A and B are shown apart, each in its own frame.
Chain A
Amino acid sequence: MPEEIAKVPISVKVNGKAYRREVEPRLLLVDFLRNELSLTGTHIGCETTYCGACTVLLNGASVKSCTVFAVQADQGEVMTVEGLEQEGRLHPLQEAFAEHHGLQCGYCTPGMLMSTYHLLSTNPRPDDKQIRKGIAGNTCRCTGYQNILKAIQAAAQAAAR
């Protein structure tokens, strides 16, 4: 018989909505979001802290949610890609990605958007180098980086107007 592992009660605010759950300690934040809360916008890519597809904000900071346990988000606030859209309207960042072809297959897009959201919230007018550094933890296997860069530049300019 496997040993009994105590579940841990957690309360987490995700995209402004409060949730209470009892979770197994080894449950990863990304699986908590996708499987427990059905927020499947956050993608699982490499599973090894490399690709950034699973990037979400935890207490305002971008994190790879495949490398955080759900229990660690207890008493915290999470923002996922679903939190960008407001009242049925795409976030300007999403508009910019659409407008400038900042996505091809779309798999990396939720992570790219959340890394960009974090970048622009800490540095609203990033230069080219800062943008590249800001998304260095996100891999686009379509290698569509040039258009992602353009989309981020456009989003920053639009926000500045």
Chain B
Amino acid sequence: MYPRPFHYHRAATVEEAVSLLTELGEDAKLLAGGQSLIPLMKLRLASPAHLVDLNFVPGLSYSKNDNGVVRFGALTRHTEVAASAVAAQIPILHDCAAGIADVQVRNRGTIGGSLAEADPSSDWAAVLLTLPAQVVCVGPEGERTIPLGEFFVDAYTTVLNPAEVMREVVVEVPPPKSGGAYLAVKRSAPVYATASAAVQLTLAENDTCKEAGIAMAAVGLTAIKATEAEAVLRGQRLTPKTIEAAAEAAMAATDPQPDMRGSAAYKRALTGVLVKRAINLALRRARGEAVEVSHIYA
């Protein structure tokens, strides 16, 4: 199985990638980890005339904690994120990075590529929508920082211009008494999730919920931030009743497409279960418990 022939361009710097994209126009695509783009090209669902390869640009792969702000180079592989000190500090990042697809895909796939592709089932999109997160992008007019909440437009569509390149993903380190968890249900490791839920909580001194971030993937055309579900929890004690109410609000925010993974009703119901479980896991972590979380294969 072969993609259509394409011209190959190897960028040495981000700026060179931007000028190549500017020069080549909309027929050009960026190649990062390639774990979605290459299959799409082999299936001829995408047939770019030019590929601009970012993999030889030095200095795009790193993870660091910069005075309470986590910075990931856009080309940081999922495996590298999973093994990073910052993922050990913010467990929801580890849940995500260590759970994406399988080892081989995690060894190639990148955090920036996953966000920029804007697949409806992108794990990173859901997880990072629960945290204050931004992406730093470079274009012909220079650099701009885009809050992740404003980044996704539609399935496979972001606010990026064709000649813009993501350089960095920035995430604020949650305050003390915070915890998060990410759960996805999949038929097997390499496939897309049927539904997934990410929850990030911060508790107040009196054990009520001070801040809540809730987002889902694979149950709409983009990852969905469940702002009403978040509002249900904020300021409240996390009881079975409030958790149930938040799950109800999260389910109402979904817009699942029926496909071979399940009906819309099934996916919506599954989302409710995952949100509840993720809230409980996030709560235990926020209270200081070390909990191992892994995706569910069913």
Taking beta carbons and an 8 Å cutoff, which residues of A are in contact with B? 2-3, 5-6, 8, 24-26, 28, 47-50, 52, 55, 61-64, 66-69, 71-72, 115, 118-119, 133-134, 136-138
For this complex, into which size category does the number of interface residues on chain B fall? Answer: 20 to 34
Option from B34, B77, B101 in Cβ contact (under 8 Å) with A68: B34
Chain A residue nearest in CB terms to B83: A122
Contact: A49 with B190, CB < 8 Å?
yes
Contact: B107 with A69, CB < 8 Å?
no
Q: Give 8 new A-B contacts, CB below 8 A, not counting A48-B39, A50-B191, A136-B103.
A: A25-B8, A61-B79, A61-B107, A64-B104, A67-B38, A67-B39, A115-B104, A134-B103
Contacting residues, chain A, for B1 (C-beta < 8 A): 47
B175 located at the interface, meaning its Cβ lies under 8 Å from any Cβ of chain A in the complex: no
Bound together, the chains give a CA A33 to CA B134 distance in angstroms of 40
Contact: A26 with B107, CB < 8 Å?
no
Chain B residue nearest in CB terms to A26: B3
Q: List 5 A-B contacts (CB under 8 A).
A: A24-B5, A52-B104, A64-B104, A67-B38, A72-B34
Contacting residues, chain A, for B77 (C-beta < 8 A): 61
Contact: B7 with A64, CB < 8 Å?
no
B88 located at the interface, meaning its Cβ lies under 8 Å from any Cβ of chain A in the complex: no
9 tightest A-B CB contacts, nearest first: A137-B102, A25-B8, A136-B189, A61-B107, A47-B1, A137-B104, A5-B5, A64-B104, A136-B102
Contact: B7 with A6, CB < 8 Å?
yes
Contacting residues, chain A, for B86 (C-beta < 8 A): none
Contact: A68 with B38, CB < 8 Å?
yes
Chain B residue nearest in CB terms to A56: B104
Option from A24, A47, A62, A133 in Cβ contact (under 8 Å) with B104: A62
Contacting residues, chain A, for B251 (C-beta < 8 A): none
Shortest distance from the beta carbon of A143 to any chain B beta carbon, whole Å = 13
Residue-wise, chain B 49-93 has the 8 Å CB interface mask toward A (1 for contact) of 001010100000000000000000000010100000000000000
Contacting residues, chain B, for A2 (C-beta < 8 A): 5
Option from B51, B102, B107, B189 in Cβ contact (under 8 Å) with A25: B51
Bound together, the chains give a CA A5 to CA B4 distance in angstroms of 11
